[in-house]
Amino acid sequence: MKVSRETLHQLIENKLCQAGLTREHAATVAEVLVFADARGIHSHGAVRAEYYAERISKGGTNRTPEFRFEQTGPCSAILHADNAAGQVAAKLAMENAIDMALEKGVAVVGIRQMGHCGALSYFVQQAARAGLVGLSVCQSDPMVVPFGGAEIYYGTNPLAFAAPGENGDIMTFDMATTVQAWGKVLDARSRNESIPDSWAVDVNGAPTRDPFAVHALLPAAGPKGYGLMMMIDVLSGIFLGLPFGKQVSSMYDDLRAGRNLGQLHIVLNPDFFTCSTLFRQHLSQTMRELNAIKPAPGFDQVYYPGQNADIYEKNSLQEGIDIVDDIYYYLKSDAIYLNSYETKSPFAK
């Protein structure tokens, strides 16, 4: 069904408050989830609300975190997030990174001990809206076999990038380092749809189209995705003195405990490297030139990175955001959660 952006935001915010989150933090989490759904990233939208509510209710998300911002150098800092909701921590860290980059030209801000933050593109777009270039990486649950391996080690370890063009244009790139994010499998489950057999393998290591039979995800482009997820695990785990690799906590194991996840924001001020006006002009020129490229057979147009999501968001503002009926009815219900997620498996049923 389709609902307005405002309605979906209020439903999610109310549900998270019902679970015990403060109104301010619930509003931030809802903002990021609705951002994802509005852009067609349903794997990181309202489908996550029940999981968050269950973890909040059971104490695995700190409802009253004590944030501590530690400046570690002229252009570097760490936000100690005290296992706050990941969206709240990531947004706060990016706000500090933006202030630092505006003054110093460069900012590198790590986040220690946070929860799952949702769509990374939300946070790098914060930087782009401030006229800056944003890059963000974060670690996630071990659920991927390394290239050539038969056992899980790394997480989907996503990265996101955004840069500003003219007249509010933003070039955005957001990806998991797997063929697809785990949330895409979760979204397929909620819709009772099959998945491509290139996304994941079953318990026997064989490709599967059944989202409920997924035992491990596959790295994007084989050894290339494997290398990227290694790099991100180093930057958002080892680099910040946090658990890494297969030691990273599972999203669904013990919802009463904090996740202790790490994330790294890197923000660059174009004015310290070139003319920011020229930078914006050239970025918008890049967008136009990509759109003007002759499409290959089977394609209608070449889109710049993030453009499909931009178009989807524009349409959703006019027509409403599409969410699964069962998710809507859950958000409208009195239930905080349905004991759907706590399991020893990283692939909650």
Give the domains, in start order, of the chain with CATH numbers.
Answer: 2-274+311-332 (3.30.1370.60)
Instruction: Give the pLDDT confidence score for residue 204 in this predicted structure.
Output: 83
Rounded mean pLDDT, 259-281: 98
Q: Enter the tokens of residue 148.
A: 């050539």
Backbone dihedral region for residue 131 (phi beyond 0: left; psi -120 to 50: alpha; all else: beta): left
d(CA 16, CA 23): 8
Taking CA atoms, 73 is separated from 82, 151, 237, in Å, by 21, 39, 19
d(CA 244, CA 240): 10
List 25, 116, 215, 265, catalytic entry = 116
Backbone dihedral region for residue 306 (phi beyond 0: left; psi -120 to 50: alpha; all else: beta): left
pLDDT range class, residue 345, cuts 50, 70, 90: low
Angle value at C-alpha 332, between 330 and 338, nearest 5 degrees: 30
Q: Enter the tokens of residue 317.
A: 């503002």
d(CA 110, CA 136): 10
Helix (H, G, I), strand (E, B) or coil at 326: helix
Instruction: Give the pLDDT confidence score for residue 187 in this predicted structure.
Output: 85
Taking CA atoms, 268 is separated from 69, 84, 103, 111, 131, in Å, by 20, 26, 11, 18, 9
Return phi, psi of residue 173, to 5°: -135, 125
Rounded mean pLDDT, 219-240: 97
pLDDT digits (tens, 9 = 90+) for 9-33: 999 999 999 999 999 999 999 999 9
Taking CA atoms, 35 is separated from 126, 250, 345, in Å, by 12, 25, 29
Q: Enter the tokens of residue 229.
A: 């997820």
The mean pLDDT of the chain is 95
Residue 86, classified by CB atoms within 10 Å of its CB into exposed (0-12), middle (13-18) or buried (19+), is buried
Rounded mean pLDDT, 316-342: 92
First to last CA, the chain: 24
Please say if the pLDDT value at position 131 is more than 90.
Answer: yes
Q: Which of 188, 345, 190 is closest to 252 using CA atoms?
A: 345
Instruction: Give the pLDDT confidence score for residue 203 in this predicted structure.
Output: 85
Helix (H, G, I), strand (E, B) or coil at 262: strand
Please, what's the b/e burial string for 42-75 (b: 16 or more CB within 10 A of its CB; e: otherwise)?
A: bbbbbbbbbbbbbbbbbebbbeebeeeeeeeeeb
pLDDT range class, residue 217, cuts 50, 70, 90: very high
Percent of the chain with pLDDT over 90: 89
Rounded mean pLDDT, 44-50: 96
pLDDT digits (tens, 9 = 90+) for 64-76: 999 999 999 999 9
Q: How many CB atoms lie within 10 A of CB 220?
A: 19
Q: Which of 327, 317, 328 is closest to 4 using CA atoms?
A: 317
* For helices 23-38 and 307-319, angle between their N-to-C axes, nearest 10 degrees: 110
pLDDT digits (tens, 9 = 90+) for 157-211: 999 999 999 999 999 999 999 998 877 888 899 889 999 999 998 888 888 999 9
The sign of the torsion formed by the CA atoms of 35, 260, 233, 107 equals: positive
Please say if the pLDDT value at position 343 is more than 80.
Answer: no
Residues facing 264 on adjacent strands: 110, 137
Q: Are strands 76-84 and 106-114 parallel, antiparallel or unpaired?
A: parallel
Instruction: Give the pLDDT confidence score for residue 348 in this predicted structure.
Output: 61
Q: What is the model's pTM? A: 0.93
Please say if the pLDDT value at position 347 is more than 90.
Answer: no
Percent of the chain with pLDDT over 70: 98
Q: Which of 152, 158, 146, 139 is closest to 215 using CA atoms?
A: 152
Please say if the pLDDT value at position 349 is more than 60.
Answer: no
Please say if the pLDDT value at position 238 is more than 80.
Answer: yes
pLDDT digits (tens, 9 = 90+) for 303-315: 999 999 999 999 9
Comparing 4-8, 94-98, 183-187, 279-283, the range with the smallest average pLDDT is 183-187
Output DSSP code: residue 123.
H
The verdict on whether 116 is a catalytic residue reads yes
d(CA 179, CA 218): 6
Output DSSP code: residue 196.
-
Furthest-apart CA atoms within the chain: distance in Å: 55
C-beta separation of 163 from 171 below 8 A: yes
More confident residue, 150 or 219: 219
Instruction: Give the pLDDT confidence score for residue 342 in this predicted structure.
Output: 74
